[in-house]
């Protein structure tokens, strides 16, 4: 572990800088993670190039990154589901847990979702990052932390296929780059 927290910060449209910021401490129900792998998503590139995605506008410096895995380096008060040294994949959206969507298992629709690297919420492209423990998932021993960081974009693709009714054997047309 390092005693510095080198972090990729989008200062404004077209301006990303690496800065050493304070190492965050976990609060109740959170874990501190020593980040292992963080993917660069199209949304990160879009914020960098355009400064916005729809209504989400970068108005202040923002840490990028949300496709990630890390190793638990500290536990916040009350965390019992994880231990220091656990390798985890991060689910980047943390819902309120109280609204009707959350209570019915559709937390992805939560109107109060806090999503990493979506203004004004910071992402995790840093050496150390703090996240809700219940949205960190232990990686099996046979999965690398690099593969763990790919679970978020994989889940987006799986969800899209489920919504579209695409299954094994379906014929699809793929357009794009």
34-67 pLDDT, tens digit per residue, is 999 999 999 999 999 999 999 999 999 999 999 9
Of the candidates 122, 129, 136, which has an alpha carbon nearest to the alpha carbon of residue 23? 129
In degrees to the nearest 10, what's the CA dihedral of 109, 115, 120, 122?
170
CA distance 17 to 93: 24
**Tens digits of residue pLDDT in 2-30:** 689 999 999 999 999 999 999 999 999 99
Average pLDDT across the chain, whole number:
95
Domains of the chain: 5-152 (3.90.180.10)
Global pTM reads 0.91
């Amino acid at each position: 572990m390092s005693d510095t927290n080198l972090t990729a910060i989008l200062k404004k449209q077209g301006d990303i800088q690496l800065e050493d910021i304070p190492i965050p401490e976990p609060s109740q129900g959170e874990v501190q993670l020593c980040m292992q792998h963080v993917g660069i998503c199209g949304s990160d590139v879009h914020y960098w190039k355009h400064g916005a995605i729809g209504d989400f506008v970068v108005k202040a410096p923002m840490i990028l990154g949300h496709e990630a895995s890390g190793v638990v380096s500290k536990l916040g008060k009350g965390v019992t589901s994880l231990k220091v040294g656990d390798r985890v994949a991060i689910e980047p959206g943390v819902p309120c847990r109280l609204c009707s969507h959350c209570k019915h298992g559709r937390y992805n629709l939560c109107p109060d979702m806090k999503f990493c690297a979506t203004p004004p919420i910071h992402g995790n492209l840093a050496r150390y990052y703090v996240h809700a423990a219940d949205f960190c998932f232990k990686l099996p021993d046979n999965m690398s932390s690099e593969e763990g960081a790919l679970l978020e974009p994989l889940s987006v693709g799986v969800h899209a296929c489920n919504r579209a009714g695409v299954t094994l054997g379906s014929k699809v047309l793929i357009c794009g780059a």
